[in-house]
Chains A and B, each alone.
Chain A
Amino acid sequence: MTILIIQILNSLFYASVLFLIAAGLSLIFGVMRIVNMAHGTFYAVGAFVTAWLVGRAIALGVPAGWTFLLIPVGAGVVALLGIVIEPLLRPFYRRAEEYQLLVTFGLLLILEDVIRLLWGGLPLSADPVMDVLPSIHIGGLIYPGYNLVVIAIGAAAAVGLWAVIYRTKFGVMLRATSQDRRMASALGLNVALIYVSAFAIGCFMAGLGGAIIVPSQAAVLGMGIDALVLAFVVVVIGGLGSLQGALVGALIVSFVRTAGIQFFPEIELAVLYLIAAVVLLVKPTGLFGTA
């Protein structure tokens, strides 16, 4: 029974991270109709930046408790990166899809190597952040309190994002632009500003995902690609462009993955892709997708 609870918590932990990445991807697609192939790499950047900052902070003698604040900083850095990059991508929103994919794929190659250039090939961890929080006892077993915080962050992000999109004026503008770009600009909306904002939010989410996972799991090269593929499975299941879809998809993928690791460790990835393939066969737009 205890094991079950632990597994459920692990799944929720992982789902939080996945949700952040997938929601960011979905948001960017929803507003700009572009799939950023480098999105997983933004997640990786978030992880590396955060881990590096934590390392520097500890080396400078900052008490471990404060390192927690570096998580939003790490996410913020990725958002800044997004703000810089978005205007460069904008000319491609109207071009053929192949070119969009190729350009963002080029971005992926560049960023992956920049990560390698800046931080080398060795994994970078941020354990101190995790150690700050006490461990919880669950039925005789010890469970990191940090994981619960991550779950809380994930839930908060889901609620927060929903609130921004559906309850604020900015959210209305976002939704208007995603429905009809020309109409939105004819109504006087600053479409460029909305694009940059949406992209920055999407990148922030991805970066946050990386920042919150790195205390638990070291940042390694190639994590971006794995994340991209998993995020993709999430949006396939949940539907591209849908917030609920990202949430539900993240939960499903996460639980299946946890079960898979437990029972079929060799092929847990394959099981995930199988589910994605089945969903694509049955409902190509995903559970909540609008195609």
Chain B
Amino acid sequence: MTVAAVSRLQYRPKLLLLAAAVVVLALLALLPPYIGLYQTQLLTYGLIAAIAALGFNLLLGYTGLLSFGHSAFFGIGAYSVALLLRDAGIHSMELYVLIGLPIAAVTSALFGYICVRHTRIFFGILTLALSQVLWTLAYKFFWVTGGSDGLRVARPTLLAGMLTFTGGGSFQRFINAYYYYVLGVFAICVVIMWVIVHSPFGKALQAIRDNETRAAFLGLRIRRFRWVSFLISGTFTGLAGILWVPLNGLTTPEVLYWPFSGEIVFTTLLGGFRNFTGPIVGGVLFTYLKTYAVATTEYWQLLLGVVLVLLVVLLPTGIVGAISAVADKLWPQEKSS
């Protein structure tokens, strides 16, 4: 086939995708005045959850490794911010990200190094064990971490100190400004992750996921690829933690505790872990579901467990996967090139 034909094929579906993404982004940007302050705040939490899930899914959906300890990275991000505020007096959101992100990255690198040497079951429980270590440390060293009371976090300054939120009406201003801030970070995260999974590296990860033996035969250094994937995954989730704590105003050991890891797993499964947008949808949807579940019953963890089992049995490809399967049936895609 001609080079021109090859090029045309490449770009058309991508332009469509880009157009759709821009539309969604524009819609999200226009929402706040229409949905009110509470919903805007909720949506911000949703986007943060989506970032965490996006990172998590690089490891699960694309590399085939199921971690039960991602709360560790979220928590490290959150506590880094709290400690930077309390002990270094830093208020700048940008500094939180600049300093917090490497901390999350180093933690992921370390945990990843220990975990990726192993097979699926051991990997999963090793991640759980390591996150539990962090959780116990947060409890035991209560003079550092505030123990079960946690640490409070005041409103940060955004855009290198240009935006501050004190005085009258500052709550509304903060929520609105923070929403756009998180939306911007979210958009950047989506683009970065999209490039990663469509790069040769991303394809290699999927190859390792599908057939480790053959991947090794192709000369791929399995452990190294998995480790890098783990590193990126933990860093994304850490970023979510960094973004989360100024909004929540408080961080407690709960975000290091294993059920929180379970939530992250759940969000990804809910949206579907075999495609790119699944975790995003799952993250946003889960935030809403959890908010209403917590408001409805004290035993929402039970509800989560039941829905998790139902999802695995009935909807293993998640919501996006199911929609995608239905769409394929209605509009069968041209498979030939």
Contact = CB atoms under 8 A, between A and B. Distances in A.
Interface of A: 35, 37, 92, 97-99, 101-103, 105-114, 116-117, 225-226, 228-229, 232-233, 236, 240, 266, 269-270, 273, 276-277, 280-281, 284
Given A270-B133, A276-B129, A109 B117 contact: no
A105 B118 contact: no
Contact of A99 (B118, B304, B316): B316
A108 B94 CA distance: 39
Given A101-B66, A110-B309, A280 B120 contact: no
Contacts of B309: 103, 106-107, 110
Contact of B305 (A35, A99, A107, A228): A107
A232 B125 contact: yes
A284 B306 contact: no
Contacts of A110: 302, 305-306, 309
A37 B306 CA distance: 15
A106 B121 contact: no
Nearest to B121: A35
B140 A105 contact: no
B121 A102 contact: no
A102 B133 contact: no
Interface in B47-81: 60, 64, 66, 68
A280 B129 CA distance: 14
B308 A273 contact: no
Given A106-B306, A270-B137, 11 more contacts: A98-B66, A102-B269, A107-B309, A109-B259, A113-B301, A226-B132, A229-B129, A229-B132, A232-B129, A236-B122, A284-B117
Contacts, number: 101
A205 to B, nearest CB: 18
Interface residues of B, number: 38
Contacts of B125: 35, 228-229, 232
A273 B66 contact: no
A273 B305 contact: no
B208 to A, nearest CB: 15
Contact of A103 (B60, B302, B312): B312
A232 B122 CA distance: 8
Contacts of B117: 280-281, 284
B130 A273 contact: yes
A92 B316 CA distance: 12
B66 A102 contact: yes
7 contacts: A98-B64, A105-B265, A107-B309, A108-B262, A108-B305, A109-B304, A233-B129
B122 to A, nearest CB: 7
Name the residue in B141, B299, B309, B313 with the highest tally of chain A Cβ atoms < 10 Å from its Cβ: B309
Contacts of A99: 312, 316
Contacts of B137: 270
A116 B140 contact: no
Given A102-B265, A103-B312, A113-B299, A277 B124 contact: no
Interface in B269-310: 269, 299, 301-302, 304-306, 308-309
A109 B302 CA distance: 6
B114 interface: yes
B181 interface: no
Nearest to B300: A113
